[in-house]
Amino acid sequence: MAKLPIITLPDPLLRKASDRVERVDDELRRLMDDMLETMYAAPGVGLAAVQVGVPRRLVVLDTSGEDEERRPLILVNPEIVSLGSEMRVHEEGCLSIPDVRIEIERPASLTVRFLDREGKPQELAAEGLLATAIQHEVDHLNGKLIIDFLSRLKRDIIVRKFKKQAKAEAAM
């Protein structure tokens, strides 16, 4: 397994919709393992393939607590089939937008359909943090970021900051 570099704002790839995964094979499972290692090392609770520069519809998640046994979840071609009516506010961060945290209101529960690590169809009902994390990662697959929940002014300030940072790093 290998830790992969995580792309950050303002990388334009983060704004592109990811392509469907055509088949689950050993190469894709290697990517899944590398993504899990990258997510745990970051540390984060979810990671979309596009965040490691692979614009495919693949997500890894683990919402277990620090003192709990790891419960990795892999979603290939995830599709949210239903959202609950109750809403939940949660402060979200993003590995592609370091040090930015935003309170976002999302449905507190959902049902998602996906292929698992072996390529078998699955359906999962999720609530709380897991439901929030799934919505966050599916947003990534559609080119949407947490800053899109902000006003245009606040979003522009964050984007400018990251562009300036990227320019400074490129000049080094």
Q: Residue 36: which CATH number? A: 3.90.45.10
- Is residue 31 scored above 80 in pLDDT? yes
Binned at pLDDT 50, 70 and 90, residue 33 comes out as: very high
In a domain, 7, yes or no: no
In a domain, 157, yes or no: yes
What is the predicted pLDDT for the residue at 1? 77
- Domain limits at 136? 12-171
In a domain, 107, yes or no: yes
Question: Average pLDDT for residues 107-114, to the nearest whole number?
Answer: 98
* Separation of alpha carbons 23 and 2, rounded Å: 22
What is the predicted pLDDT for the residue at 66? 83
pLDDT tens digit sequence for 41-87 = 999 999 999 999 999 999 999 999 888 999 999 999 999 999 999 99
137 included as an active-site residue? yes
Strands ordered across the beta sheet of 46-48 = 46-48, 58-61, 73-83, 109-115, 121-127
Say whether 158 sits in a helix, a strand or coil: helix
In a domain, 133, yes or no: yes
Binned at pLDDT 50, 70 and 90, residue 156 comes out as: very high
Q: In the predicted model, what is the mean pLDDT of the chain?
A: 96
In a domain, 4, yes or no: no
> In angstroms, what CA-CA distances link 109 with 34, 70, 82, 105, 140?
28, 21, 9, 12, 18
CB 66 within 8 A of CB 18: no
In a domain, 30, yes or no: yes
In a domain, 3, yes or no: no
Q: Please identify which of the residues 66, 92, 105, 137 carries the catalytic annotation.
A: 137
Domains of the chain: total: 1
- Is residue 158 scored above 90 in pLDDT? yes
Question: Average pLDDT for residues 98-124, to the nearest whole number?
Answer: 97
In a domain, 2, yes or no: no
pLDDT tens digit sequence for 12-26 = 999 999 999 999 999
- Is residue 104 scored above 80 in pLDDT? yes
Alpha helices, DSSP H only, in the chain? 26-41, 128-141, 152-171
What is the predicted pLDDT for the residue at 172? 84
- In 3D space, the residue among 113, 114, 92, 112 whose CA is nearest the CA of residue 101 turns out to be 92
